[in-house]
Structure 1
Amino acid sequence: MSRVNLIEKNSDSELVRQGEDGDFRNLFKLDNIRDGVSLGLIEQLGGEKGFSKIFEVDLKKGVLDEEQASILRNRFGANLPIIKELTPLWKLIVECLGDTMLQILIVAAIVSTILGIIEGEGGQYEGMTIFLAIFLIIGITAGNNYAKERQFAKLQSKLDEGHVQVKRGGNVVTISNKDIVVGDVLLFQLGDIFNVDGLYLSGSEVKIDESAMTGESDEMSKASFEVCQKDPHGKSPFLLSGTKVNEGTGVMLVLQVGDRTVQNEMKKLGQSENTPTPLQVKLEAVAETIGKVGVVVAILTFTILLIRLFIEYGTNDFPFWDQVWNMDCLQKILQFFMIGVTIIVVAVPEGLPLAVTITLAFSVNKMKDEQNLVKTLASCEIMGGVNNICSDKTGTLTLNTMQLNAFYCQEVNYKDYQLPQIKNLEKQYLDLLAASNLYNSSAYPKKGYNGKFEQIGNKTECALIEFCDMLGYQLSSYRPSDNILRIIPLNSKRKMMISIVHHNNKIYLFSKGAPEMVLKKCTKYINSKGEEEKLTPQDTSKILSIIEEYAGQALRTLGNAYKILNYHLEYDFDSIPEEYLLSDLTLINIAGIKDPVRPDVPSAIQQCYRSGIIVRMVTGDNINTAKAIARDCKIIGADSELHEYEAMEGSQFRQLTGGLIKVIKNKEEVQEVKDLQKFQEIAVHLKVLARATPEDKFILATGLKQLDNVIAVTGDGTNDAPALRKADVGFAMGITGTDVCKDAADIILLDDNFSSIITACKWGRNIYNCIRKFIQFQLTVNVVALFMSVLGAAVTKEAPLTSIQMLWVNLIMDTFASLALATEPPSDRLLNRKPYGKRESIVNSIMYRTVIGASLYQIVILCLILFVPNSIFDFDTEFNKDYDNRPIQRLTMFFQTFVLMQICNSISCRKLDEVSLNPFSGLFNNLLFWLINFIEVLVQYLLILFGGKFAVVCELTVWQHLFCWIFALGGMIVAIIVRTLPSKWFNGINIFAEEEIEEEKLDETIASKLRRKSSVRYGSVLDENHENKRSVQKRLSIFKE
């Protein structure tokens, strides 16, 4: 069916009526756009003028003011992101009740309570107490998850923030993307990602990547509605939310915002699941080993208790089956069964991977305060292993506050203090100089009342615009302007920007870019008399020496050139070949722009080297500028002699390494460096890559990964996106970075500062440290609890810890310990060690030493309490009468000592190395740790003093309490002594073979089968859309054993 027929079919239809009412969703339906229906709807609505009438907005001036914006917002809706509905507390409680072992324990507790009531004499206490303990665990776990999920939601709202430029009352202003309204006239440029739907009004060379919305990989060229009307099967005027500007700059009319946009309509349909981070997957393997041992011990303990019971009945004078089939025996068997189940609850560390999420929830919020906005949780962990950083220069290593420092024009080299003298040059030349800089730019610096500029947009352009202002030429006289006929944006290959403008009744071409590239296109220059003169080889050599002089002073160099085009104003300037435009130019000037190195960067670079991290600077500047800045930053030494590969140009680097080739690995096509051996030879020395293209940065990242490095890459441009995705951790600049760049990154540097990357490294190492602290604490509890359960069952005919007591221990070792140990703040000492290696085990020899030493000490002490004569600790046997003749005071002291030893051991486990023997150092840096330990001690004493039959405890004497504390504190002394033993003695221990568990098999692990599914246990993810785009399996290679 033709487009005309479709229009006729839809004229005066419901679709048009909806459009007139401000509902434009049908306009942006992909089928309607593809079939031409949408163009017909616009025609029915009156085209661009029709929209102007509907919104009461002048398309040249935009929305008048905030008052009109508020009216439009109330009428058409606010531009707010789709917020994922947070899980209510009751649902989190239900999730916790999904734990298989807890369900079995609840059923057993119900049966125990019923039997106890039938039997009488307080037999129901144990079942009721287990109920209380289970719901206490569920409440605390659910509350912890509730708070954590809201932390992530708060951080997610920060990720959704952004800024755009719109016309308000004829002026270009910067507003938050949440303040965009339907009817806004929005300016966009290369690298932007739309978060609204709109209609293209005007622009130059605009190409959009719509693959995220349409699935089509080809770029789509854009044109105005009038142009598309003439050729409906050619370009398109529709700009969809979620699509990216790959080329050009332009202006659009906003038609849909908020939940009506195409992107948010699709988000409503999407449903994402929690995705494990690499460290969580790695810990799942550790938990699997512990869980298997726990299940064996639980079965063994239950079997031993059952056999001992039957042996006791078999040796009595009463008939065996008469004793078995009575209420008392059933109660005991049920009690043994509950002990076995409780051992599984304690031993299967289903909270181990969750500890990572707790650490990350704590870390990402702290990192935000230190200018690191985390998008993917995995990146926080991986930063702990980064050993190479490929950094941009501008804004990352430098302040990105550009100022003109030197200027060459009319054969005179002006220094910074001589720049005002340029005012005295002839007006004709100054007019040309101003036009070449003010037309040929996209920045919009604002001049304050004090005469100083706020640099907004490209800082290099801002410096030149400020210079023109000093000469008496204001930006407002040149832009925005209908005189601009065509703009060809800067790209990494051409390294020049071109503008064709109608100026002073002539058609000018202005070109601006890398001075060497501009000079190659020039055949003339403006001499000392202000006249055009042919460039000779001597002139070219002189100008090149000026460029080299500026570069040697660490100045960013820029060249301007022009030519007059002999065309009529009505000519189709888009049809002129680029080769013709960039030929026979006349050089106007060479500018040297100063961008000072950030004061803290040199010390940060030195810290990197002490931390075992190599820093490589990748820049588009020429080789001399790059070397000068690298020396200022301490990336390379001050010596004049450098290795031939220490500072290279991108073209040479590309040629020597052979570029990239495509190979098939694991049935997938991947890119690799062609000559890896040569690349390795270069990489040993390479510190500076100058005149580098995004392709060069991608080659560097690819080669370093092939050599088994863990790399971080910084970027700010759209073309940096492939390298950021290739990197293990991609950093985007929060201030100067494009939307595409931020979309590809894992972490956004809010201050564009290199020092913030060092902060991310410190937090990354701290995450690994915190998890190791938690593991060595939990392993000690598990070893001691499991060993004493089996020993007690075999020797004393009963488990020394009851079900309720073990549930309390589980609460200490899982929830409380993860909060206390997983939220330890980082110390600067972390940066004085090497990065964590790819093949470094999560449980190392130092941790084995700690676990073995603490476990042996605790087992000896607990055996002492369990087996010594009553007289040693003055145990009162009178209490036994009320507890079925159990040695209750002995078992109470056992329970008290066990718990206090774990609390003291948590303090010792804060230390992972031999450097600090003092377990209390830095303890006051984490008030949460103190609070949790205080609560644990308080609850433990309340249980001992008032628990009675509910907690299966009795009173202890003052001396017995004192002995409990002596034994507990003695463990800290033993920990200090153990830390002095050489860790190499424990190198041969490798209990936890951390083989990678495939993501799809995570629900087949012990913890998933006996406790809860992995997707529930891992907790919230951050930036779910980004996590889905970047395969987690790629991340797992970082920690692959």
Structure 2
Amino acid sequence: MSYKQQRDVEAQFQSQLTTDDLTDLFKLNQINDGSSMQKMKQFGDDNGIARKLNTDLKKGFSDKSAIEKSKQLYGDNTPVEKEPTTLWELIMECLGDTMLQILLIAALVSTVIGMINEGVKTGWTEGATIFFAIFLIISITAGNNYLKEKQFRQLRRKLDDGKCQVIRDGKVTEIATKDIVVGDLLIFNLGDLFVVDGLMVQGSAVKIDESPMTGESDEIKKLPYFEMAQQQHNQLNVNQDAARGHVSPFLISGTKCLDGTGQMIVLAVGQNTVSGKLKQLLIQENPPTPLQQKLEGVASDIGKLGVLVSILTFIALMGHLGYDCQQGKFPFLSIKTLQIIVESFMIAVTIIVVAVPEGLPLAVTIALAYSVGKMKDEQNLVKNLSSCEIMGGANNICSDKTGTLTQNIMQVVALWTENQTFKDQVHTNKNKIKKETIELMSESICYNSNAFPEKDPQTNKWIQIGNKTECALLECADNFGYNFNQFRPSDKVLRQLPFNSKRKKMSTVIFNQKSQYIRVYTKGASEIVLAQCNKYIGNNGIEQMLDPQLRKNIYDNIIQKFASDSLRTIAIAYRDLDPQSHGSNIRGQITQLTKVAQNIPEDDLDKDLVLIAIAGIKDPIRPDVPHSIKQCHESGVKVRMVTGDNILTATAIAKECGILPTNREIGEWEVVEGKKFREFVGGLKDEQVDGKTVKVIGNKENFARVSRDMKVMARASPEDKYILVTGLIAEGNVIAVTGDGTNDAPALKKADVGFAMGITGSDVAKDAADIILLDDNFSSIITAMKWGRNIYDCIRKFIQFQLTVNLVALFMSFLGAVVLKESPLNTIEMLWVNLIMDTFASLALATEPPNITVLERQPYKRDDKIVSPTMNRTIVGGSIYQIFVLCFILFMLPQFMDLSMPEELFGQKYHKNVVQMSIFFQTFVVMQVFNSISCRQLDYKTINPFANACNNPLFWGVQTFTLIIQCVLIQYGGKFVKVSHLTLQQHLLCLGFGVGSIIFSILVKIAIPERWCQFVELFREQEVQSGDMDTSLTSVLRRKSTNRLGNSRRSMDQQGSQVKMSAQRIQ
């Protein structure tokens, strides 16, 4: 019995497969020891499994009911993600705030003392008000965090909204990856990242990177199940790798296709996949970003100052208490004394609550949450949050050409064949070309491609799906009357060598029925294919010898002419091989011929070719690219184009884009080919740095010479791009890189910010990138740069505001304690101020949209301080004004205004200076509202604080809400807030002091030059490492936000052991 007959008999056995039956096939130890292959035989081989799953190995699912049944039995491919944090959990997290816990206990004691002193009827009010204020802070903070996390979850889901191609009902269909079900026939290509587990049933030259899941760095060869099983059945001598189980048909989720194409039947999806099970163990939070870590250092310094002032304030208040007791005002051991001690303690604790800016690092998160949402709307899908910040300092962009600078809508507009050149609508000249030549060229295109363009029946326009160059060629073949569906899928295909960056060509081997020969079709970079041709299709479709002179003429007059017209040139060639000359005496038997084709060395397949045609493909420049590149130049960002096209095409496109000048000669190193660049700079070499081996530029002097001028690199390989990025980073630049291919992944990882193409990019490139460009458009990189700079601006605005409030509140609290024996702001008022400083200010200032001038200045440098000299001037100036006004209210205002207590408050337990303290409180808050307006401006040149006033409605909404609540507290807070209502005149006075802060800020900008503040440093800016953030002062005193950061750090620690755990878990 033959092997095929045997497997058909075994496939007759029908039984229901369980999820465990299928997932057990992908345990690493069972794959390696051959157990998985044995189980496949028990299931009836690949055909048996397909029947049990109600699918077909060639047509896939034939009806929707089978798909629904599969989904019910084996689940769907919904990505594994962390259970969302509930609002209650966030509230409990906020209650973990150490200072708020202490304040709650003190408020409870205050309530008890108040009821003892004043009775139950009124004694509870102060403590209850503090309880309510704390409740309000916790509710607003938790609600804000909940909305922020909800937004990030939506963005993570967007990242998982990938597309893939499956065969259903015999047709290639594009579906979302989340819609894949067990039994689907999935098509995969070079660069794909597997999101499901499956069995390879068809494929050629497939090599897989399994290191993310197994830790093995070697490329793993994969064979279709039938071929692997046939080898075992025939007891063929397999190599040592196969004997160890490395060669197998099993494709594991989380691994990457490095080479080849094929089809797989899906056997596990979602949480049942190998990677799905691991994700449930290793779900990670976003780690703290570099800006958050730097801000944590600033926050700790402010916190230390706050703790010092808190202690000194408490000592001052206790000193006054001791003095009063000694003077006999009240005994040491009395309820009154205890009440004063508790109130003083609450003031001291509240000063810490206000002073320790635990919201400062979290303001970055709010800015990021706002920015990444807006960036998504502008075609930037952010994977790595820190990349948003880093783009604010990017000063070099290494960009691809195809699809990024160009529209990636390709069309054949020039064709050379039979010694004739045809332009524009080349198919209209088919009467001038021999039918046999057209047939040969079209067959070559249709067989030797993997794209699937479709024609819209309504508009009759092509929808390009897959590689756009192939789509253009297939459309050209269709125009000549040859539709690719006639040739695919085909049993004639014996072998396929996909295009990659090294070969720069693609070859497909078929069996030609007419000649009974093996035929090799090749297409690729024109000069490379031309060099491997020794014949060409000449006049009247006759094959002629290709001598060196004619080869040079074709290169100079056809290839270079097409390239100088900004056309990508693709050469199409073929070769016939006699099977008998390669060890086969059996013509026409596909199985035997496949074996023959597989055994022919790659170099032998592509030599002695016959040149059929050279196609010139036009890919128009995106209309907005020249303007975007001009913007980059104006904002201090150098754009370099790195492309695989030849040097003439690259130069023409670069001039059209504005990367290269058109009004002068091109410099020696402005345009360079990848090979020349690589050899000149000496490639990469290993060097020991801090005990670690790192890759560095071989000749740094030569690299510095090239990098200064280079704007275009042509015929660049991924290795060349990686060398360029490595060298530029070593020179201190901040680099953004675009990439779409699998081999671009190292450069994308190496870059400070990696951009992958969302449309044409491979899964591996997307996995390595920080940001995905959903429209593959260069202008979207400008968007990322704009928002990156804006994040820094927003945080700086927030810092200006918060540091001013902090300095003023600390100074006045201590001054009041020393001079007045009490803090001018009571506990409830300071908690309200804390809410204004943290949550409200972050919403108002951390969500500012980018200013139109943000791209008109130089990028931020790596070592730039967050608090700039201009900010120092704003902070110090604003603080001086506010302290002066508040001191005036405390010590001099009664001399100018009647501040007597309203008659209706007589007899109630109000402070005798309640009106004065109410004006102080009202003025303090109103000045913060107007100061926030001044803090919106960072540019020392901008004098007008209301510039761009209409671009952020949320800011004005928050400030209006703050003023309304403040007035309500003053007018109706009464004994709960310990304030008196104010008259219209008094309200206007407070408003005047607030407006005065804006006027004073304008005067400061006019009178004090920025250079005078160059040497002022209010706080150090030492970056706190992520591992130390749990032990920083901010974290110890204010646990509310840092619990989440701690989880992030621990999740990052787990990453180091992920590979090890992966190998263990799938065994």
Per the TM superposition, whether the score is higher than 0.5 is: yes
Q: Look up the match of 1:847.
A: 871
Cα 1:961–1:21 shift into 2, 3 Å = closer
Partner of residue 383 from structure 1, selected from 391, 410, 418 = 391
Q: Find the aligned partners of 2:139 and 2:19 in 1 and give their Cα distance.
A: 50
Q: Look up the match of 2:1032.
A: 1005
Q: Find the aligned partners of 2:948 and 2:719 in 1 and give their Cα distance.
A: 46
Q: Look up the match of 2:338.
A: 330
Q: Find the aligned partners of 2:315 and 2:740 in 1 and give their Cα distance.
A: 64
The answer to whether the 8 Å contact 1:167/1:173 transfers is yes
Q: Indicate whether 1:279 and 2:305 are aligned.
A: no
User: What whole-Å deviation, never above 9, does each CA across 1:460-501 have from its counterpart, x for those lacking one?
Assistant: 111111111111111011111111100011121221111111
Cα 1:134–1:816 shift into 2, 3 Å = same
Q: Find the aligned partners of 1:27 and 1:1017 in 2 and give their Cα distance.
A: 38
Q: Look up the match of 1:925.
A: 951
User: What whole-Å deviation, never above 9, does each CA across 1:945-996 have from its counterpart, x for those lacking one?
Assistant: 1111110101222211110000011111111222223111111112322122
The answer to whether the 8 Å contact 1:273/1:1015 transfers is no
Q: Look up the match of 2:990.
A: 964
Moved more, 605-614 or 30-39: 30-39
Moved more, 921-930 or 764-773: 921-930
Q: Indicate whether 1:736 and 2:770 are aligned.
A: no
Structure 1 residue 457 displacement after superposition: 0.6
Q: Find the aligned partners of 2:256 and 2:947 in 1 and give their Cα distance.
A: 51
The answer to whether the 8 Å contact 1:850/1:975 transfers is yes
The answer to whether the 8 Å contact 1:281/1:997 transfers is yes
Equivalent runs, 1:495-894 vs 2, <5 Å: 495-503=504-512, 504=514, 505-545=516-556, 546-567=558-579, 568=587, 569=590, 570-571=592-593, 572=595, 573-639=597-663, 641-868=665-892, 870-877=894-901, 882-883=908-909, 885-894=911-920
Aligned residues: 1014
Unaligned ranges ≥5, structure 1? 1-10, 1032-1041
User: For 2:896, what is the secondary structure of its paired residue?
Assistant: coil
Q: Look up the match of 2:75.
A: 77
Q: Look up the match of 1:904.
A: 930
Q: Indicate whether 1:992 and 2:990 are aligned.
A: no
The answer to whether the 8 Å contact 1:397/1:754 transfers is yes
Q: Look up the match of 1:223.
A: 223
Q: Find the aligned partners of 1:357 and 1:427 in 2 and give their Cα distance.
A: 65
Q: Find the aligned partners of 1:467 and 1:640 in 2 and give their Cα distance.
A: 38
Structure 1 residue 241 displacement after superposition: 1.0
Moved more, 694-703 or 953-962: 953-962
User: What whole-Å deviation, never above 9, does each CA across 1:794-841 have from its counterpart, x for those lacking one?
Assistant: 111111000111000000001100011001111221000110111110
TM-score for both structures, normalised by structure 2: 0.93
> Could you tell me the percent identity over the aligned residues?
53
User: For 1:837, what is the secondary structure of its paired residue?
Assistant: coil
Q: Indicate whether 1:237 and 2:261 are aligned.
A: no
Q: Look up the match of 1:196.
A: 196
User: What whole-Å deviation, never above 9, does each CA across 1:330-362 have from its counterpart, x for those lacking one?
Assistant: 100110011000000000000100000001111
Partner of residue 266 from structure 2, selected from 244, 254, 266 = 254
The answer to whether the 8 Å contact 1:351/1:814 transfers is yes
Q: Find the aligned partners of 1:306 and 1:886 in 2 and give their Cα distance.
A: 21
User: For 1:183, what is the secondary structure of its paired residue?
Assistant: coil
Q: Look up the match of 2:1061.
A: none
1:518 partner amino acid:
V
Q: Indicate whether 1:948 and 2:981 are aligned.
A: no
Moved more, 276-285 or 20-29: 20-29
The answer to whether the 8 Å contact 1:376/1:1027 transfers is no
Equivalent runs, 1:98-247 vs 2, <5 Å: 98-120=96-118, 122-229=122-229, 230-231=231-232, 233=243, 234=245, 235-247=247-259
Equivalent runs, 1:229-378 vs 2, <5 Å: 229=229, 230-231=231-232, 233=243, 234=245, 235-316=247-328, 323-378=331-386
1:658 partner amino acid:
G
The answer to whether the 8 Å contact 2:535/2:545 transfers is yes
The answer to whether the 8 Å contact 2:655/2:662 transfers is yes
User: What whole-Å deviation, never above 9, does each CA across 1:620-679 have from its counterpart, x for those lacking one?
Assistant: 000000000000000011135111000000001001100011112222221111111111
User: For 1:398, what is the secondary structure of its paired residue?
Assistant: coil
2:284 partner amino acid:
S
User: What whole-Å deviation, never above 9, does each CA across 1:972-1021 have from its counterpart, x for those lacking one?
Assistant: 11112222231111111123221222221111211111111764365998
2:959 partner amino acid:
N
1:1011 partner amino acid:
R
2:73 partner amino acid:
R
Q: Find the aligned partners of 2:1034 and 2:286 in 1 and give their Cα distance.
A: 17
Q: Indicate whether 1:35 and 2:20 are aligned.
A: no
Cα 1:586–1:640 shift into 2, 3 Å = farther
The answer to whether the 8 Å contact 2:295/2:1023 transfers is no
User: What whole-Å deviation, never above 9, does each CA across 1:60-117 have from its counterpart, x for those lacking one?
Assistant: 1111143432333233222111132111111101100001011111111111111111
Q: Find the aligned partners of 1:355 and 1:1017 in 2 and give their Cα distance.
A: 14
Q: Look up the match of 2:5.
A: none
Cα 1:905–1:961 shift into 2, 3 Å = same
Q: Find the aligned partners of 1:562 and 1:662 in 2 and give their Cα distance.
A: 43
2:469 partner amino acid:
T
Moved more, 569-578 or 948-957: 569-578
Q: Find the aligned partners of 1:94 and 1:1014 in 2 and give their Cα distance.
A: 11
Q: Find the aligned partners of 2:539 and 2:1001 in 1 and give their Cα distance.
A: 81
1:93 partner amino acid:
I
Moved more, 453-462 or 571-580: 571-580
User: For 1:353, what is the secondary structure of its paired residue?
Assistant: helix
The answer to whether the 8 Å contact 1:289/1:992 transfers is yes
Q: Indicate whether 1:895 and 2:907 are aligned.
A: no
Structure 1 residue 18 displacement after superposition: 7.4
Q: Find the aligned partners of 2:935 and 2:725 in 1 and give their Cα distance.
A: 38
Cα 1:574–1:181 shift into 2, 3 Å = same
Structural RMSD (CA): 2.1
Q: Look up the match of 2:4.
A: none
Unaligned ranges ≥5, structure 2? 1-9, 233-241, 580-586, 1059-1067
The answer to whether the 8 Å contact 1:357/1:1018 transfers is no
Structure 1 residue 176 displacement after superposition: 1.1
Structure 1 residue 1028 displacement after superposition: 5.3
Structure 1 residue 154 displacement after superposition: 0.8
TM-score for both structures, normalised by structure 1: 0.95
Cα 1:418–1:32 shift into 2, 3 Å = closer
Q: Find the aligned partners of 1:74 and 1:759 in 2 and give their Cα distance.
A: 43
Q: Find the aligned partners of 1:311 and 1:340 in 2 and give their Cα distance.
A: 19
Q: Find the aligned partners of 1:373 and 1:486 in 2 and give their Cα distance.
A: 38
User: For 2:183, what is the secondary structure of its paired residue?
Assistant: coil
Cα 1:1028–1:329 shift into 2, 3 Å = same
2:22 partner amino acid:
F
The answer to whether the 8 Å contact 1:525/1:535 transfers is yes
Structure 1 residue 1029 displacement after superposition: 8.5
Q: Find the aligned partners of 1:950 and 1:1013 in 2 and give their Cα distance.
A: 26
1:534 partner amino acid:
M
Cα 1:416–1:351 shift into 2, 3 Å = same
The answer to whether the 8 Å contact 1:241/1:262 transfers is yes
Q: Look up the match of 1:7.
A: none
The answer to whether the 8 Å contact 1:560/1:587 transfers is yes
